[in-house]
Structure 1
Amino acid sequence: MNSITAAEVAGAAAPATTAGVPPPRRRMSSTRWAALAFLAPLAAYLAIFYAYPLYRNVELSLHDYTPRAFVQGNAEFLGLDNYADVVSSSMFGLALRNTALFVLISIVAQYAVGLALAVFFHRRFRLSAVLRAMFLVPWLLPLIVSASTWSWMLNSENGIVNSVLGAFGIGQINWLTSPDWALWSVIIANIWLGIPFNLVILYAGLQNISGDLYEAAALDGANAWQRFWRVTFPLLRPVSAITLLLGLIYTLKVVDVIWIMTTGGPGNASLTLAVWSYREAFGTGQPDFSPAAAVGNMLIVIALAAGFVYLYLQRRQERT
């Protein structure tokens, strides 16, 4: 029997190593560099298309930028004076009120109708896919086409809406030229445009709810309304929250629909903060970029506040 030396015993006890495998520290370093390489394009995109424009918008709002100042590069620093001028303006209260009405009514109506349609199409009947695709048409059309179509439909003289109302004995309504109806006109058009988005997101959320829950509720004697209120609505709450948040952010910045239909008028009857910002910058022929940037930054703050509220509610729900 051959004798085993101490060196052979030590070699047998040592862990086997694979040839060509780098040390753990070098492997961690290469993994980190690979992660940074994948992250770099996204970071560059965010810096170029988000961080820099936001910085420029803040800079615009803190200086007195006119077309001449843009050319000469000598805009006077005003600090928060532009924000003070915007808040003290006679149009600020009206624009804030119109924005609140426009946003709240739009997102509530879009969500309610979108949820009703999602539940309706969730039943999977014949032609369900065809009808669901038809409801997506408003979402696919360019906004300028949709807004122009609604302007024609709501025309006081020969619009199809007044023609239909006239058939039921209802007199002519000046949808786009009356201060009492202009804001409602753009709200109706915006609701129509936003329903498909809510339908798609909420319908996708319904697909993740197990059918066994509905069967168990039906065995317990729950009717259709109770199954919706006790099963569908609670389980759809996370999807509903993100749908409402995205709807809020989108509706806050709506300009094209209102501008094409009423340009914020008549007078300022349908003026919102977003339209006010656009009008100050591009709509008067005498650009005033700094107040426009100040109003735009206010909208950004409102959207950020809504995002933080959403995150707070999500974390609170996760803890409970």
Structure 2
Amino acid sequence: MSLSKLETNQAGVQKRSSKRVKIDWIQYQFLLPSLFLILLINLYPFLSGLLYSFKEGTLIKQGAFVGIDNYIALLQMSEFWHSLYFSAIFGLCSVVGSYLFGLAFALMLNQEVWGRGFFRVALLVPWIIPSIVSIVGWRWLIGDQSGLANQVIGWFGMAPINFLGTEEGAIFSVILIKIWRSFPFMMISLLAALQTINHDLYEAAQIDGAGRWKSFWYITVPSIKMISIVCWILMTIWCFNDFDTIWLLTEGGPANATENLIVLAYKYTFTKNNVGLGSAIAIISLIILMVLAWLLLKRQEKDE
């Protein structure tokens, strides 16, 4: 082959290669409006909150730049550490409780039981009804000594219980109600995972002499592990950021016993009008959630 023909062939290959790597920018132009809205709704508030956390001032007027003084002040506040402790207890108990109840109901509904269709719908009610409706209903039940729960207790000659008036009672109540509101999400997610398991595995295990517990531990648990980790991540974020359950029930009381970081950030920002400390609390909450999500995702990658 002559040199001129070789150069011609190389030029043709380069021309075809340039055509192959040509990017169609039209599709990206269609995405620009949506991308702009996402950045406007999510990124701008985040950057604004991050900036406020390094300043002092109020909602009306920004103050001077103070650096990390707000974060240092938070670390020296017992109120912050108490809220962090309660957030951890509230999140841990709510995630574990909702997962156990959700798994139990999912295992039940995965069997051929009477009224399975009805129970699948009925057990979703706590998840689908608006939070304001469910919390008002719970306050009607346990809000004070004249609530329905105490009326029922009185029928048995027992003294009324102040569910939301004591620290222990309020903590127990908000965790219980959060579990009640959250377990349907766990249930429906785990039920979907259970229905993908091949029943031949259980039949083979039964032939080999494995009982129900071993079949559950060595077949069911590994099969639902991935979806369980995803549920734990989502539920941890939702519990840690839960504002409406606590605020509508107790407003963080009594004596700040049920005050989590989100309620504390709200109080400092909108009640005490200290935007710097409120924003710093929100940023710390975000960092904690990102670390927890990263750890769970790393665990998921390791299992895969």
TM-score, L = length of structure 1: 0.85
Distance 2:224 2:33 in 1: 34
Once the two structures are overlaid, the 10-residue window that deviates more, 128-137 or 40-49, is 40-49
Corresponding residue to 2:101 among 95, 106, 113: 113
Structure 1 counterpart of 2:21: 28
Q: Evaluate the alpha carbon distance shift between residue 34 and residue 118 of structure 1 in structure 2; reply closer, same or farther with a 3 A threshold.
A: farther
- What do residues 6-32 of structure 1 show as CA deviations (whole Å, max 9, x unaligned)? xxxx9xxx9xxxxxxx9442243134x
Residue type of the partner of 2:263?
A: V
Q: Tell me if 1:59 matches 2:51.
A: yes
Tell me if the contact between 1:58 and 1:297 (Cα under 8 Å) persists in the aligned partners.
Answer: yes
Tell me if the contact between 1:99 and 1:272 (Cα under 8 Å) persists in the aligned partners.
Answer: yes
Secondary structure of the corresponding residue to residue 23 of structure 2: helix
Q: Evaluate the alpha carbon distance shift between residue 264 and residue 314 of structure 1 in structure 2; reply closer, same or farther with a 3 A threshold.
A: same
Unaligned regions of 5+ residues in structure 1, if any?
1-9, 15-21
Structure 2 counterpart of 1:6: none
Q: Give, in angstroms, the shift of residue 41 of structure 1.
A: 4.9
Structure 2 counterpart of 1:309: 295
Secondary structure of the corresponding residue to residue 29 of structure 1: coil
Alignment of 1:127-206 (within 5 A): 127-206=115-194
Q: Give, in angstroms, the shift of residue 35 of structure 1.
A: 5.4
Structure 1 counterpart of 2:42: 50
Q: Give, in angstroms, the shift of residue 177 of structure 1.
A: 1.2
Q: Give, in angstroms, the shift of residue 166 of structure 1.
A: 3.6
Structure 2 counterpart of 1:214: 202
Distance 2:43 2:127 in 1: 29
Q: Give, in angstroms, the shift of residue 80 of structure 1.
A: 0.8
Distance 1:30 1:301 in 2: 37
- The total of aligned residue pairs comes to 293
Secondary structure of the corresponding residue to residue 221 of structure 1: coil
Q: Percent identity?
A: 33
Secondary structure of the corresponding residue to residue 181 of structure 1: helix
Once the two structures are overlaid, the 10-residue window that deviates more, 214-223 or 183-192, is 214-223
Residue type of the partner of 1:164?
A: V
Alignment of 1:263-282 (within 5 A): 263-282=251-270
Corresponding residue to 1:287 among 273, 279, 286: 273
Secondary structure of the corresponding residue to residue 271 of structure 1: coil
Residue type of the partner of 1:111?
A: Y
Structure 2 counterpart of 1:93: 81
Once the two structures are overlaid, the 10-residue window that deviates more, 244-253 or 44-53, is 44-53
Structure 1 counterpart of 2:12: none
Q: Tell me if 1:251 matches 2:251.
A: no
Q: Give, in angstroms, the shift of residue 260 of structure 1.
A: 0.9
Distance 1:312 1:34 in 2: 36
Distance 2:155 2:206 in 1: 45
- What do residues 163-221 of structure 1 show as CA deviations (whole Å, max 9, x unaligned)? 33344554321111112211111111111100111111111111221111111112222
Q: Give, in angstroms, the shift of residue 39 of structure 1.
A: 5.1
Tell me if the contact between 1:255 and 1:278 (Cα under 8 Å) persists in the aligned partners.
Answer: no
Q: Give, in angstroms, the shift of residue 290 of structure 1.
A: 1.4
Distance 1:35 1:205 in 2: 35
Tell me if the contact between 1:119 and 1:203 (Cα under 8 Å) persists in the aligned partners.
Answer: yes
Secondary structure of the corresponding residue to residue 161 of structure 2: coil
Distance 1:124 1:82 in 2: 58
Tell me if the contact between 2:95 and 2:179 (Cα under 8 Å) persists in the aligned partners.
Answer: yes
Unaligned regions of 5+ residues in structure 2, if any?
10-14
TM-score, L = length of structure 2: 0.89
